[in-house]
Amino acid sequence: MPLLETNLPNKLYQGKVRDTYDMGDGMLLMVATDRISAFDVVLPNGVPDKGRVLSQMSKFWFDQTGQIVPNHFIALADDPEGLGDLVNHPIIKTLPPEIARQATVIKRAERIDVECVVRAYLTGSALVDYNQTGTIFGIPVPPGLVDGSKLPELLFTPTTKAEVGHDEPMTIDEVSAMVGADLAVKLRDLSFAIFQYAHDVAAERGIIIADTKFEFGIRDREVILIDEVLTPDSSRFWEGTQYAPGKSQPNYDKQFVRDWLLTQPWDRTPPAPALPDDIIEKTRERYLEAYRRLTGQALP
């Protein structure tokens, strides 16, 4: 059964997918549920194993990218060795196994309210804007590009971090006005560095990372990487051997769910239609395959 709701003590925040709890001492418990959202709406049914993939894959990338930027990761909630003395924390000691296996202990940080989006290929909302304006959210790009075209260089297309409704595109100048010019440049440069590293790792394993989004926070006056990182929820993972511009690419992410929803008579406002069993299973298979391909091992 998919894990759709959690009700632990000291809940701080419930997002579209994650439930976050205060553990005290500057630490949080972040539970990646099996909820799935599309077009900023949470769907009524979930995808089994999805939360485990998000937690385990984020750990993989946090470990991989720690030399580029520090992050908020402490340990998976079901990893006694990683937890150390935290195994005796009241929340950890009483955590049901079905929650622990898709939860992470993290450092608390002050979130920077910018979604740091990096794009290497033209697709999604960038394609819609390009077809309408000839630019990508105001950034000049060559004419004649199609769905799936590789962009001449990485693009930084940040958005607002909306609590409700849709995230809205921002320019680098707007980010600068919000957080300061130096921090805006640092967010862009860190986003590019993490993306390029991950893109190269994935390419060796036959996966194209078309785009992704990062979130950062401030802890002890230092910028750190937070939330999830380079998962099938936050990224587009394409099958490298079948890449062909001009169409929707074979993928290992939730684009499969978006594509199904686009065939339904739904106006992208709640309530969303329930996913059929076969769509749920095929989505689950894509998430598991993304994890296997990128990490080199099956989901534990």
Question: 3-state SS string over the chain?
Answer: CCCCCCCCCCEEEECCCEEEEEEECCEEEEEECCCCEECCEECCCCCCCHHHHHHHHHHHHHHHHCCCCCECEEEECCCHHHHHHHHHCHHHHCCCHHHHCCEEEEECCEECCEEEEEEEECCHHHHHHHHHHCEECCEECCCCCCCCCEEEEEEECCEECCCCCCCCECCHHHHHHHHCHHHHHHHHHHHHHHHHHHHHHHHHCCEEEEEEEEEEEEECCEEEEECCCCCCCCEEEEEHHHCCCCCCCCECCCHHHHHHHCCCCCCCCCCCCCCCHHHHHHHHHHHHHHHHHHHCCCCC
Please tell me the predicted confidence (pLDDT) of residue 167.
Answer: 83
Residues 118, 77 share a domain: no
Please tell me the predicted confidence (pLDDT) of residue 161.
Answer: 85
Residues 97, 17 share a domain: yes
Separation CA 119–CA 204 (nearest Å): 19
Please tell me the predicted confidence (pLDDT) of residue 164.
Answer: 62
Count of domains forming the chain: 2
Residues 87, 60 share a domain: yes
CATH number at residue 122: 3.30.470.20
Residue 295 lies in a domain: no
Which residue range is the domain that position 234 belongs to?
111-255
CATH number at residue 38: 3.30.200.20
Residue 277 lies in a domain: no
Residue 260 lies in a domain: no
Residues 92, 116 share a domain: no
Residues 90, 143 share a domain: no
Residues 62, 192 share a domain: no
Separation CA 87–CA 21 (nearest Å): 16
Please tell me the predicted confidence (pLDDT) of residue 166.
Answer: 72
Residues 222, 103 share a domain: no
Q: Which of 218, 235, 255 is the last residue of a domain?
A: 255
C-alpha dist (Å) from residue 239 to 117, 242, 256, 262, 291: 21, 6, 13, 21, 13
Residues 103, 118 share a domain: no
Separation CA 244–CA 242 (nearest Å): 6
Residues 157, 218 share a domain: yes
Residues 118, 248 share a domain: yes
Do 104 and 113 form a contact (C-beta atoms < 8 A)?
no
Residues 202, 115 share a domain: yes
Q: Which of 108, 141, 174 is the last residue of a domain?
A: 108
Half-sphere exposure of 241 (CA within 13 A, CB side): 2
Residue 79 lies in a domain: yes
C-alpha dist (Å) from residue 19 to 10, 166, 175: 11, 20, 27
Residues 93, 228 share a domain: no
Q: Which of 62, 80, 108 is the last residue of a domain?
A: 108
Per-residue pLDDT of the chain (300 residues; tens, 9 = 90+): 999 999 999 999 999 999 999 999 999 999 999 999 999 899 999 999 999 999 999 999 999 999 999 999 999 999 999 999 999 999 999 999 999 999 999 999 999 999 999 999 999 999 999 999 999 999 999 999 999 999 999 999 999 987 666 789 999 999 999 999 999 999 999 999 999 999 999 999 999 999 999 999 999 999 999 999 999 999 999 999 999 999 999 999 999 999 999 999 999 999 999 999 999 999 999 999 999 999 999 999
